[in-house]
């Protein structure tokens, strides 16, 4: 791509305010800055996507549009690199920044708060942040919206952004698009297996959210804390929590239907301990009744979801 051709075209589009550049390639760029006397439109929204969207060449393109308010950078560069070049030269008008990277070893943005202090909105995709991202976000006092893609978070660190003296005072919206896992088949009376909740991709196998592999994060507590501070929480995290709850319920139900005597008590107990570990409390089960010879299965409907949780009670006769 010869950028001067792009600049020549833009000279005839004086009212243009949005520019999206795709297939950016740092190895195929010439004349990154316009010729003297070139008058460009007042671009407010700029998107650059391709190989080297984090490179000096992309920084040169951003620099010729000093009125940019909303900037999106999506690098498809599949080698080690980082955002240092372009984040050190952002326009002072910038209010919204979205960063996306396709490579797992791409450098994160956690140490560039001084360049981002004007932001009101930040969107960081997968591979663009570490669990310590809250340190950077805490320094961006104007933020109204934080949007994070898949990755690991520090629960206590994020709580500090939504509660207490370190709360971001202007924050109104949190979007967590973390891995949401998959609903699976649920056992019902008679051993029939049904899909109580559907996955968008049609999957029918259970898959717990991947972020649980890094240690349990009490996202439910974080969400409640944020909402109590007037901050709206959205994103795939809401489905992820539903997947986790229904998995706990289904594990309990399977153990109930498979129960054949006191020897199975240990399995039931382990399932309920796991649920508590995920901060989900199943309805009380009278373990004393499991010592009786005559039991019947009882069903409890969860008011908020309509899901069924099964347990035992002793028969009267």
Tell me the CATH number at 159: 3.80.10
In a domain, 314, yes or no: no
Domain annotation covers residue 111 = yes
Number of structural domains the chain divides into: 1
In a domain, residue 72? The reply is yes
Structure confidence at residue 310 (pLDDT): 87
Nearest 5°: the CA angle 133, 137, 139 is 125
**The pLDDT of residue 38:** 74
Residue 284 lies in a domain: no
- 8 Å CB contact between 120 and 145: yes
- Separation of alpha carbons 140 and 150, rounded Å: 21
Name 88's Cβ contacts closer than 8 Å, sequence gap at least 6. Answer: 59, 112, 115
Q: What is the rounded distance in angstroms from the CA atom of residue 127 to the CA atom of residue 116?
A: 18
Regarding predicted confidence, which is higher, 308 or 46?
46
| Upper half-sphere CA count for residue 9 (Cβ side, 13 Å) | 6
pLDDT on residue 88: 83
Whether 132 maps to a domain, the answer reads: yes
How many degrees, rounded to 5, is the angle at CA 176 between CA 175 and CA 178?
A: 155
Residue 29 lies in a domain: yes
What pLDDT, on a 0 to 100 scale, did the predictor assign at position 29?
A: 64
Residue 203 lies in a domain: no
Q: Which residue has the higher pLDDT, 273 or 70?
A: 70
Q: How far apart are CA 186 and CA 192, in angstroms?
A: 8
Residue 119 falls inside a structural domain:
yes
Work out the average pLDDT over 241-266: 88
Tell me the residue range of the domain where 52 lies: 3-178+214-235
């Amino acid at each position: 791509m010869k950028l001067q051709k792009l600049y020549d075209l833009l000279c005839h589009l004086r009212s243009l305010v949005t520019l999206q550049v795709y297939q950016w390639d740092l190895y195929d760029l010439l004349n990154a800055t316009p010729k003297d006397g070139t008058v460009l439109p007042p671009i407010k929204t700029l998107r650059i996507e391709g190989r080297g969207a984090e490179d000096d060449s992309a920084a040169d393109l951003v620099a010729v549009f000093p009125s940019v308010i909303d900037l999106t950078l999506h690098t498809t560069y599949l080698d080690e690199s980082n955002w240092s070049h372009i984040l050190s030269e952002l326009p002072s008008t910038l209010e919204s920044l979205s960063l996306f990277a396709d490579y797992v070893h791409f450098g994160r943005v956690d140490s560039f708060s001084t360049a981002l202090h004007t932001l009101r909105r930040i969107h960081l995709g997968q591979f663009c942040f570490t669990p310590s991202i809250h340190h950077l976000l805490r320094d961006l006092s104007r933020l109204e919206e934080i949007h994070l893609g898949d990755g690991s978070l520090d629960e206590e660190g994020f709580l500090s952004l939504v509660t207490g003296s370190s709360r971001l005072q202007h924050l109104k919206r949190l979007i967590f698009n973390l891995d949401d896992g998959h609903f699976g088949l649920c056992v019902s009376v008679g051993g029939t297996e049904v899909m109580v909740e559907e996955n968008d991709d049609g999957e029918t196998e259970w898959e717990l959210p991947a972020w649980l592999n890094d240690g349990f994060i009490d996202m439910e507590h974080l969400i409640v804390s944020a909402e109590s501070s007037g901050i709206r929480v959205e994103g795939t995290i809401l489905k992820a929590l539903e997947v986790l709850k229904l998995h706990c319920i289904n594990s309990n139900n399977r153990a109930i239907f498979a129960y054949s005597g006191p020897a199975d008590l240990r399995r039931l107990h382990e399932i309920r301990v796991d649920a508590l570990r995920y901060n989900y409390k199943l309805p009380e089960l009278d373990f004393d009744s499991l010592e009786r010879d005559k039991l019947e299965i009882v069903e409890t409907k969860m008011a908020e979801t309509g899901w069924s949780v099964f347990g035992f009670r002793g028969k009267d006769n």
